[in-house]
Amino acid sequence: MSTEELERRYRRLLAVYPWEHRRTYEEEMIGVLLADARPGQRRPAAGDALNLIGAGLRARLRVNARGFTEPAWADAAAVTGVLVALVLLAAAGKGLFDQVVPDPSLPPPLRPVGPDLVDWIRVAGWAGVCFAALVGLRRVAAGLAWVAVAAWAVLVAPGVADQPAYVVQTLPQFALAVVAAVALSVPAPPRRAVAVLGVRRLAALVLASLVVLTILELNRLTAVAYDATGWYASYVLYDLEARSRLVLWAYVAGLAAAAVAIVAALATLARQVRRRIPVMLAPVAALALVIEKGLAGWRESSFYLGRIPLVPAQWAVLVLVPAVTFLAGALLVRRREETLRMLALGRDADRERPAS
């Protein structure tokens, strides 16, 4: 009885291993473990348990790492790298234009003094990333993206002591830069993003980005000027503002059309690719959600009470949530595709089975 109980507990520990490993080696491992057991032993020794768990986790890590070498991940990474670089280029271009053409609704004391060298470098850098990625210079594109990541670490990260709220506010954009750098670092054939997207989808993504940028700038430049008397009419929807309801809904329609164009361009990709693109972007969305919802009280308190540093647990959440989100998404994709593969094998077996 003790041998059966010990075997059952060893099998529970071996469940840490990937099923491919268990299918081939489980019975052999059980035999060795039971042969080395002491007479009357009912539980695995602590050292054996730790060794089995550690080896099983390492085996799972190797299997999962091999999964990321699939062509579908390389194609998704190529598309994601270009897509994120376009988004960051649009954001950098908007920031530069905001400095060059001040908001006329702001009183002169609050208007920006003009762009600095960093504003120009951001635009030039992300434009270089997009150009290099599209013409097939993947390593150049990845190198420029990693330079942008390093620049954030040098220019922004030191402000965590004096301006923690500002640093946290820039984390989603920093996460996008990391995603672009990692995605462009994945080995892929030259101009793979163009080959996967096609000219029409790529043009749709570029035009949609330009439409969004144009609408946001038009909204900013035509915003209702502040009146000291407090009497002025305007229609507001989130950050959009216009003197006319018709103009406001025109802005909304333009943004909606751009969003539909982007979704349609990505939704018509191959299934294996379009499943993986959201997984690569999900960490940024999760980080933004944590900042927006989980740290809302901290941000408001920092605004009214001044600098309030984050505790280590909060920094740990900001670091771990994106990583866990990506790993969970990758696991879901793998489980989904494995299920579909097994269903397909079952259907093929049913077709080949002779009729009785």
The token pair at 130 is 């997009």
- 21/84 same-domain check: no
Q: Which of 161-165, 231-235, 268-272, 339-343 holds the top average pLDDT?
A: 268-272
- 108/55 same-domain check: no
Out of 65, 100, 119, a domain closes at 65
The token pair at 55 is 């080896």
* Residue 309 three-state SS: coil
Residues near 41 by beta carbon (within 8 Å), at least 6 away in sequence:
2, 6
Residue 329 lies in a domain: yes
Residue 196 scores a pLDDT above 80: yes
- 217/322 same-domain check: yes
Residue 356 lies in a domain: no
The mean pLDDT of 110-125, rounded to a whole number, is 86
- 79/58 same-domain check: no
Residue 225 lies in a domain: yes
Tally of structural domains, the chain = 2
Residue 95 lies in a domain: yes
Q: For residues 261 and 208, is the Cβ–Cβ distance under 8 A?
A: yes
Residue 254 lies in a domain: yes
* Residue 134 three-state SS: helix
pLDDT tens digits, one per residue of 234-281 = 788 888 888 888 999 999 999 999 999 999 999 999 999 999 999 999
Q: Within 10 A of 217 (CB to CB), how many other CB atoms are there?
A: 15
Nearest to 56 by CA among 36, 82, 26, 28: 26
- Supply the range of the domain harboring residue 232: 68-349
Nearest to 289 by CA among 315, 313, 321: 321
- 21/102 same-domain check: no
Dihedral (CA of 35, 37, 43, 47) sign: negative
- 13/124 same-domain check: no
Q: Indicate the burial class of 273 (C-beta count within 10 angstroms; 0-12, 13-18, 19 or more).
A: buried
Out of 65, 82, 99, a domain closes at 65
Least confidently predicted of 93-97, 294-298, 322-326: 294-298
pLDDT band at 353 (very low <50, low <70, confident <90, very high): low
Q: For residues 128 and 144, is the Cβ–Cβ distance under 8 A?
A: yes
- 22/111 same-domain check: no
Q: For residues 140 and 149, is the Cβ–Cβ distance under 8 A?
A: no
Give per-residue burial for 177-213: e unless 16+ CB within 10 Å, then b.
Answer: bbbbbbbbbbebeeebbbebbeeebbebbbebbebbb
Give per-residue burial for 149-166: e unless 16+ CB within 10 Å, then b.
Answer: bebbeeebeeeeeeebbe
Residue 135 lies in a domain: yes
Residue 67, CA distances (Å) to 21, 72, 332, 335 in order = 15, 10, 13, 12
Out of 65, 95, 120, a domain closes at 65
pLDDT tens digits, one per residue of 129-158 = 999 999 999 999 999 999 999 999 999 988
Dihedral (CA of 120, 203, 213, 180) sign: negative
Please state, in angstroms and rounded to a whole number, the distance separating the CA atoms of residues 61 and 15: 14
- 272/137 same-domain check: yes
